[in-house]
Amino acid sequence: MKHIEIRTTHDDPELVARAVSPDNTPEIETRTDGRQVVTTIARESTGGLSTTADDYVVNLTVATQVAQLSDQITETNHE
């Protein structure tokens, strides 16, 4: 089994983790550690691991953008 751990830092890591977690399969675990989102991916093959990691990074990018937009909207509404 091949494994990779991806760690990214966010202002609201819980929000980002909740956003990407619904796409997790039994071989993907997402958690928070301080300001970081930590995701561990396991796959039988290197190719499968690479493909899954690529897909995850795309999902993570979208989740991060949505979290940032949410923060901007919240700040605007409180001004």
Residue 67: band (very low, low, confident or very high) from pLDDT cuts 50, 70, 90: confident
pLDDT digits (tens, 9 = 90+) for 31-62: 999 999 999 999 999 999 999 999 999 999 99
pLDDT of residue 27: 95
pLDDT digits (tens, 9 = 90+) for 13-28: 999 999 999 989 999 9
CA distances from 6 to 38, 39, 53, 61, 75 (A): 6, 5, 8, 13, 29
pTM recorded for the entire structure: 0.85
> In the chain, at which residue ranges do the beta strands (DSSP E only) sit?
2-9, 28-33, 36-43
Here the CATH number for the domain that contains residue 51 is 3.30.310.50
In total, how many domains does the chain have?
A: 1
Cα separation, 58 vs 39, in Å, equals 13
**Structural domain boundaries enclosing 18:** 2-77
Q: How far is CA 17 from the centre of its chain?
A: 5
